[in-house]
A and B are shown apart, each in its own frame.
Chain A
């Protein structure tokens, strides 16, 4: 047996080692001759191993002749490897009698990209490990959403607390009073003078039920109204005529405005009647 092995070793041709480096992931091949026991590639090779090897017997069915094998290999990691370590006899014993078959796997990528084809940087999702938790979360969300919607609707539909009643709008009398005071003291600004005139018109329009009329028509009627016109025309002269704001005119106006001072408008109207 030992003799046979020795002969086989002697007969084993030095492998035609591929002097050229083989890129990663690309199939390289080496042809060897061997006259001893038939050889085969190592069984149960791990797919994630740095090197995968397959052997093909090229010599045919005659077991007495010298065998020629083609060894195909694919490197996953850059580096130098000996294919002999991946070759065994048919009985699984290592083929130590054959010469070393050195091959070199090189990476085409720059160095910083590493040399292992199977390194995955991202961590895999272990959904299978936490599926109970995940299902529980989904169920919780499924229940929480309708509850949220329901609660929100209830809160929204709840009647708002009644707002405090707004303060009553100042009546015409309230607005007129300070302006009349100011006019009698001759201390009204131009905007206040304009407001006084327009408020008096509004007051008399209300008094005469002219709300349905256009403002221009109402004013036209007021200017000919026997009661309203006395004051309104005096105000017109006082505010608009050239030299209308003389002391005499102001004195006359004070007398006309006096009934409006400190009285409610209705009372003023009654007084003037």
Chain B
């Protein structure tokens, strides 16, 4: 098996987010993760940043994008960069809550029940295509996300720390899916939308894939995939992540910044085109995510750029446009931009 050769999958960055990469050295933690992920993934700095924000704040992340844009690869690369336990569950219509949480199994040798822990007992859980599972499974997962513990039989089990769920959704193919209701979407700290990579990025992706070699197994061989090229040697550990989380807690949030965040959330409740405005959880998410972003950019305080950059990922999945606005062809992003511009 060949290692070390960098591969990539295609990546993209949502054009509405500034893809600023902070100066190297501003935040060693972020630099290390970016460097590690960058060996496997081309571009996609914003998504990596969003994953790190979710990790640092203990929030959860919903990634939305068409298939084949390296959602899984990014998450797995980040997990390996920080030496996190990683599980992936492909959600399907016939999935049961016990398939994720675990169940009690009768041990025939001892004639006693023993606990079989499900894939949720991990640090980083990738819930692939979460909208394909039935609402019963979705709510079981979302409850675990909220309480960070699960009940199997009569026993309650605390999930490992850190615990982060990164769920994905395909925004195009909606037949046979169960759309997450607003109350459950609200539990995701951020929802980030992928788009296709730029031509330059895609060229680089293809170029890197040409360098992939064969993976030999006995006498046979298979072509290496991007996943095979993820470096195993983690540069960071959970302890480093905990220290970074503590540093995030020390980032200063001014009264003016709080006012900006709360004002924006209140505007979503008064806007004529919005049927359902944001809950107070949105203001909390905005402030906490901004604090993590400030840390990743090497600042000791949050600034308006933080909430302007994060507003789309924090706000859009927490508000719903009215029927009249949708009929007039209004889009959530346009309404949010309008609110951001009129904030002053």
Please tell me which one of the listed residues A193, A214, A239 contacts residue B337 in the complex, with CB atoms under 8 A apart: A214
A198, A215, A220, A240: the one contacting B301 at CB < 8 Å is A240
Q: In the bound complex, how far is the Cα of B260 from the Cα of A201, in angstroms?
A: 14
Residue A191 lies at the interface, judged by CB distance under 8 Å to chain B:
yes
Residues in B neighbouring A119, C-beta threshold 8 A: none
Q: How far is the CA of A219 from the CA of B302 in the complex (A)?
A: 14
Determine whether B172 belongs to the interface, using a CB cutoff of 8 Å to chain A: no
- Chain A nearest CB from B247 CB (Å) reads 14
Q: Are B256 and A239 in contact (CB under 8 A)?
A: yes
Contact of A219 with B301 in the complex, beta carbons under 8 Å: no
A220 CB contact (under 8 Å) in B20, B255, B259, B312: B20
CA distance A257 to B312 in the complex (A): 32
- Is A220 a contact partner of B18 (Cβ separation < 8 A)? yes
Whole-angstrom CA separation of A190 from B261 in the bound complex: 13
Q: Are B300 and A197 interface neighbours, CB within 8 A?
A: no
**Chain B: minimal CB distance from A111 (Å):** 68
In the complex, residue of chain A having the shortest beta-carbon distance to the beta carbon of B263: A194
Residue of A201, A202, A214, A241 ringed by the most chain B CB atoms within 10 A? A214
Residues of A within 8 A of B254 (CB): 239-241, 244
B303, A190: Cβ atoms closer than 8 Å: no
Looking across the interface, which residue of chain B has its beta carbon closest to that of A223? B305
A240 cross-chain contacts in B, Cβ below 8 A: 252, 254, 256-257, 301-303
Q: How large is the interface on B (under 10, 10 to 19, 20 to 34, 35 or more residues)?
A: 20 to 34
Are B259 and A215 in contact (CB-based, < 8 A)? no
22 A-B residue contacts at CB 8 Å?
A194-B259, A194-B260, A198-B304, A198-B343, A198-B344, A202-B341, A215-B308, A215-B340, A216-B309, A219-B304, A220-B18, A220-B305, A220-B309, A239-B254, A240-B252, A240-B256, A240-B303, A241-B254, A241-B300, A242-B300, A242-B301, A244-B254
Report A-chain residues with C-beta under 8 Å of the C-beta of B18. Answer: 214, 216-217, 220
Q: Which residues from B are CB-within-8-Å of A202?
A: 341, 344
B148 CB–A CB distance under 8 Å: no
CA distance A240 to B304 in the complex (A): 9
- Chain A proximity of B68: nearest CB distance (Å): 26
Q: A190-B259, A199-B344, A242-B300 are in contact. Are A219 and B305 (CB under 8 A)?
A: yes
With an 8 A cutoff between CB atoms, is B16 at the interface?
A: yes
Residue B17 at the chain A interface, CB threshold 8 Å? yes
Contact flag A236-B343 (CB < 8 Å), given A219-B308, A241-B252 = no
Contacts of B255 in A (CB 8 A): 190
Contacting A at CB under 8 A, from B303-343, are 303-305, 308-309, 311-312, 337, 340-341, 343
Residue with the greatest number of chain A CB neighbours at <10 A, chosen from B17, B305, B311: B305
CA distance A214 to B18 in the complex (A): 9
Q: Which residues of chain B have a CB within 8 Å of any CB of chain A?
A: 16-18, 20, 252, 254-257, 259-260, 263, 300-305, 308-309, 311-312, 337, 340-341, 343-344
Q: Which residues of A contact B312 (CB under 8 A)?
A: 216
Contacts of B259 on A, CB cut-off 8 Å? 190-191, 194
The 8 Å CB contact of A216, one of B17, B257, B301, is B17
Interface range on chain A: under 10, 10 to 19, 20 to 34, or 35 or more?
20 to 34
Which B residues lie within 8 Å of A223 (CB)? 305
User: Taking the nearest CB of chain B, how far is it from the CB of A262, in angstroms?
Assistant: 20
Binary contact track A205-216/B, C-beta < 8 Å → 1, others 0: 000000000111
- Residues of chain B contacted by A190 (CB below 8 angstroms): 255-256, 259
Which A residue's beta carbon lies closest to that of B338? A215
Contacts of A193 in B (CB 8 A): 256
A70 at the interface (CB under 8 A from B): no
Q: In the assembly, what is the distance between CA of A191 and CA of B312, in Å?
A: 23
Q: Which residues of B contact A241 (CB under 8 A)?
A: 252, 254, 300-301
Q: Is B308 within 8 A of A195, CB to CB? A: no
Q: A219 — nearest CB in chain B belongs to which residue?
A: B305
How far, in angstroms, from A1 to B252 measured CA to CA in the complex? Answer: 142
Bound CA span A223–B303, Å: 11
Chain A stretch 206-249: residues in CB contact (< 8 A) with chain B: 214-217, 219-220, 223, 236, 239-242, 244
Shortest Cβ distance from B340 into A: residue: A215
Q: Among A197, A201, A216, which residue has the most Cβ atoms of chain B within 10 A?
A: A216
Q: Point out which of B304, B309, B340, B341 has the most chain A C-beta atoms below 10 A from its C-beta.
A: B304
Q: Give CA–CA (A199, B343) in the complex, Å.
A: 9
- C-alpha spacing A56/B247, complex, angstroms: 125
Q: 8 tightest A-B contacts by CB?
A: A198-B344, A216-B308, A242-B252, A220-B18, A240-B254, A215-B340, A216-B309, A239-B256
Nearest Cβ on chain B to A240's Cβ, whole angstroms: 4
Closest chain B CB from A195 CB (angstroms): 5
Cβ contacts under 8 Å, A175 to chain B: 344
Nearest chain A CB to B100 CB, angstrom units: 36
Please determine whether B17 and A236 come into contact, CB atoms closer than 8 angstroms: no
Cα separation A197 to B344 with both chains bound (whole Å): 8
A172 CB to closest chain B CB, in angstroms? 9
Query: A220 vs B343: C-alpha distance in the bound complex, in angstroms?
Result: 17
Residue of B nearest to A239 (CB): B256
Measured between beta carbons, the chain A residues less than 8 angstroms from B303 are 236, 240
**Which residue from chain B places its CB closest to the CB of A188 in the assembled complex?**
B256
The interface residues of chain A lying within 8 Å CB-to-CB of B341 are: 202, 215
Name the residue on A nearest B252 (C-beta): A242
- Closest chain-A Cβ to B265's Cβ sits at a distance in Å of 14
Shortest Cβ gap from B322 to chain A (Å): 23
Task: Give complex CA distance A244, B260 in Å.
Answer: 18
A261 to B65, CA, bound (A): 49
Chain A residues with Cβ below 8 Å from B311 are 216
Bound CA span A240–B303, Å: 6
Question: Given A199-B344, A220-B305, A240-B303, A194 and B252 touching (CB < 8 A)?
Answer: no
